Amino acid sequence: MAKIKVGIVGLGLMGGSLSLALKKHSKDYYFIGLDHNEEHCSQALKLGLADEITTSLDTLKTCDIIFLSIPVDGIIAVSKQLGSLPADCTVIDLGSTKEKISLSVPEEIRHNFVTAHPMTGTEKFGPNAAIEDLYNDKVVVLCDIKMSGEHQEKVAKKLFSDIGMNIVCMGSKEHDRHAAFISHMPHALSYAIANSVIKQEASESIIALAGGGFKDMSRIAKSSPNMWEDIFRQNKSNVLEAIQTLQSELKKCQKMVENEEWDTLNDWMKDANTLHDILD
């Protein structure tokens, strides 16, 4: 049987981990990688994330599946450079915001695209950060799936199931609002916590005391500024709304402490506890 040819544009954490996960599932895949960072290309070859490297998008057009695991701006740019594609080629982008991508892909190849957001990641980046089980037992959101071709929908759903993902379908507009609350605002907050502490006079002795809670809250403040600049730009209005909502909750907490409204504060914390009835 001929191997399934998979192109990966962007050989970082997401693209690299996808290659590892698919390889674990089946030996039938052959991976062609493309990355503007030459060091990433040689690392990817060495780590077995790609079987060959290309510098040309045209080479990838012979693939059965093409993953775009690069920032959102790049995804939109590549979608415009692709030109025409074979009818059964499936392009899956993994961008963290979806509405602009969904609306920007040229009409001619829109049915080739499946626009997906795997709700997973780590604070690390680059090919060395790739891990085999990044996707396992995590949620992937497929957006505006009715704009994808039937074949493409089938390919994407099978592939994400194969690597252990739980598939959720929703509109890209709804996705972007949800993602602002569940992912983008928490990242802004984690950066803010980190900056609040390192700007203190005694920052080193404060940080020396860090326990598990602080480490958890500041972990995602390690994330790539370039990637997150792009996400905040693409999802500006939803991100601002989510930050505003968070600011209001925090202001409430501040007022209750200030005015020593301990019972109300206690109730507010009990409300927060209920998150975990749904989450766990």
Least distance to a copy of itself, CB of residue 255, Å = 10
Least distance to a copy of itself, CB of residue 62, Å = 33
**Rounded to the nearest 10 degrees, how much is the dihedral formed by the CA atoms of 157, 162, 166, 171?**
-20
Residues ≥6 apart with Cβ < 8 Å to 9? 15, 34, 35, 57, 60, 66, 67, 68, 69, 70, 74, 78
Number of continuous H segments (helices) and E segments (strands) in the chain = 14, 8
Looking at the Cβ atoms of 30 and 232, the one nearer to a copy of itself is 232
Least distance to a copy of itself, CB of residue 72, Å = 13
Residues ≥6 apart with Cβ < 8 Å to 170? 141, 143, 178
Looking at the Cβ atoms of 51 and 132, the one nearer to a copy of itself is 132
Looking at the Cβ atoms of 150 and 260, the one nearer to a copy of itself is 260
Looking at the Cβ atoms of 2 and 208, the one nearer to a copy of itself is 208
Looking at the Cβ atoms of 58 and 262, the one nearer to a copy of itself is 262
CB 70 within 8 A of CB 78: yes
Amino acid identity of residue 166, one-letter, is N
Pair type for strands 90-93 and 4-9: unpaired
Looking at the Cβ atoms of 63 and 143, the one nearer to a copy of itself is 143
Distance CA 153, CA 145 (A): 7
Pair type for strands 139-143 and 113-118: antiparallel
Amino acid identity of residue 198, one-letter, is I
Looking at the Cβ atoms of 145 and 189, the one nearer to a copy of itself is 189
Q: Say how far residue 69 (Cα) sits from the centre of its chain.
A: 9
Least distance to a copy of itself, CB of residue 261, Å = 10
Least distance to a copy of itself, CB of residue 32, Å = 28
Least distance to a copy of itself, CB of residue 79, Å = 22
Residues ≥6 apart with Cβ < 8 Å to 89? 61, 63, 64, 65, 66, 112
Least distance to a copy of itself, CB of residue 7, Å = 25
- 47 by DSSP, 3-state: which? coil
